[in-house]
Amino acid sequence: MAKKKAKKKVSCSQCTGLCCRYMALPIETPEDREDFDDIRWYLVHRGVSVFVEDGDWYLNIENRCKYLSKDHRCKIYDKRPQICRDHKIKDCELTHDEFDYEMYFGNDKQMEEYMKIKFDNNHLHHPRSKSKLKKRIHKKK
Ligand code: SF4
Ligand code: SF4
């Protein structure tokens, strides 16, 4: 009889506190070029990325919590914020092999490329858009 494969048990004591090293905040879904350019501005900052999951947009900031100790424990465990208490190990960063992002932008260049495809390709052969662009450049002088 084939032996059942033992389920791998994971506990926080085996982890370096992966969930205490970033913040993911929901942001408004961008609609126009200006909105996407605002996101590009987020992405010029170090440690910032943006991802889309289940249609929702998130700003991800890599920034270690100041209460994560050198041995990866929470220094304020008894009074840690509710959001930390609600974070469950079954869906956490250590137990999930991969996150199912629909889109991921790791830096401003990636957003720039995306914006070119999303906005500029549709306008490249449109003469009115070109003249608008010229006007803008002119105004900036
Ligand atoms: S919840 Fe997951 S990511 Fe957070 S410390 Fe525990 S095992 Fe690590
Ligand atoms: S307060 Fe504690 S549990 Fe919450 S992020 Fe900081 S170290 Fe982690």
User: Does residue 90 lie in a domain region?
Assistant: yes
Do the Cβ atoms of 30 and 38 come closer than 8 Å? Answer: yes
- The answer to which of 2-6, 26-30, 59-63 has the lowest mean pLDDT is 2-6
Q: Which of 95, 96, 87, 97 is nearest to 10 (CA)?
A: 95
User: Does residue 57 lie in a domain region?
Assistant: yes
User: Does residue 117 lie in a domain region?
Assistant: yes
Q: Which of 100, 105, 99 is nearest to 45 (CA)?
A: 105
Mean pLDDT of the chain: 83
User: Does residue 5 lie in a domain region?
Assistant: no
| Residue 18, number of CB atoms within 10 A of its CB | 12
Out of 8, 12, 71, 86, give the residue to mutate to test ligand 1, the one with the largest number of ligand atoms within 8 Å of its CB: 12
- Give the chain's domain count: 1
pLDDT in tens, 105-135: 999 999 999 999 999 875 544 444 333 333 3
User: Does residue 3 lie in a domain region?
Assistant: no
pLDDT in tens, 14-52: 899 999 999 999 999 999 999 999 999 999 999 999 999
> Residues with beta carbon inside 6 Å of ligand 1?
10, 12, 15, 17-19, 87, 89, 92-94
| Per-residue confidence (pLDDT) for residue 90, from 0 to 100 | 81
User: Does residue 4 lie in a domain region?
Assistant: no
The boundaries of the domain holding residue 63 are 15-140
| Residue 17, number of CB atoms within 10 A of its CB | 18
